[in-house]
Amino acid sequence: MIHAVIMAGGAGTRFWPRSRANMPKQLLNIVGDKTLIQQTVDRIRPVTERSNIWIVTNASQVSGIREQIPDLPESNILIEPVGRNTAPCIGLAALHIRRRDPEGVMMVLAADHRVGNEELFRKEMTLAVEVARKTKGSVTIGIKPTRPETGYGYIQYMESKKISVNGDSAYPVKTFAEKPNLETAQRFLQSGDFLWNSGIFVWEVSSILELIETHLPELYEGLTTIDAALATNTYAEVLDRVYRSLKGISIDYGVMEKAQSVYVIKGDFDWSDVGSWAEVYNLSEKDADGNVVKGEGILMNSHNSMFYTENKVVAAIGIDNIILVDTPDAILICKRDAVQDVRLIVEELNKRQRNDVL
């Protein structure tokens, strides 16, 4: 069977002040009428059964997820005691899936991505499942780059060694590259053999656990201890104790960059990781002056700015390239090219112990 694992533990600090500890960006309708996690679940439903959709999150988000995805089985919401990056998250989900379906295939998705052409997305995800089954390897989706983006990681692939599955192609991965500077990103784009790393992965459940055992033996040891307690009344206590002792590490760095049999499928669908308010601006419809207004914002003699207002009229004259987000208890104002630093505001509020606005 096909299982979809949705990682939904992020805090979404770059979307403060809308994103808060108990209501992070994946639970908000930042782009579209539905929330990001609702969109993620909806787009994967035609590929798998409802009972095979899993969400990994933290305790503070569980009530919001249950409210937004009411038909998801309660046992399919897996709670991390503490965030430890993507490798432990994926390993934990793999344990639960293996108990139910030892020969299952895992699709791993983020809860906060935007996908434009969902039919094409599902076609390419189905292809990824077939490649994983055929090769017994790891499969990822790479997005064809449209610009020299410095906010994404990259995947270099080998065109000459492509394999064919059901008439479609998958490509061996040559290397993974971290987020580059602008000059390097321009070289990647010009080379023609680099794709954006979407963070979408597909494996047989047995394969990913074997890879974790090989490349992350300490994590595998912890997962083995958790697995032994899965069917017992000590599970919660063991999970909490062991998970907190695990080293935080990403699946990309811990496994994918070291694994031997890794393939990438070229994703042709419209995709964004919706990583900041600037990305929301880029995805939104703009007026003749390049402005985006959500709510009662008034911009006069202003250009290329975005106002998001909730409870009041906010007006501005003669501003350019500004992001303003108004909520009942906080207001964010920043330059569009400074939105990645919004997380620093959250860090400062934590230092000041301003839990009322976190």
pLDDT at 32: 83
Spell out the residues 6+ positions from residue 303 whose beta carbon is closer than 8 angstroms to its own: 289, 290, 291, 320, 321
In sequence order, the β-bridge partners of residue 315 are 298
| Claim: this prediction has a pTM higher than 0.75 | yes
Does 236 score more than 90 pLDDT?
yes
Q: What is the mean pLDDT of residues 286-308?
A: 95
Asked if 204 and 119 touch (Cβ cutoff 8 Å), the reply is: no
For the chain, percent helix, then strand, then coil, each to nearest 5?
40, 25, 30
pLDDT at 22: 85
pLDDT at 21: 86
Does 310 score more than 90 pLDDT?
no
Q: Where are the alpha helices (DSSP H) in 58-204?
A: 62-68, 86-100, 118-135, 182-191
Q: Which residues in the chain are classed under CATH 3.90.550.10?
A: 2-272
The CATH fold assigned to 2-272 is Spore Coat Polysaccharide Biosynthesis Protein SpsA; Chain A (3.90.550)
Does 8 score more than 90 pLDDT?
yes
Q: What is the mean pLDDT of residues 186-206?
A: 96
Q: What is the mean pLDDT of residues 12-25?
A: 91
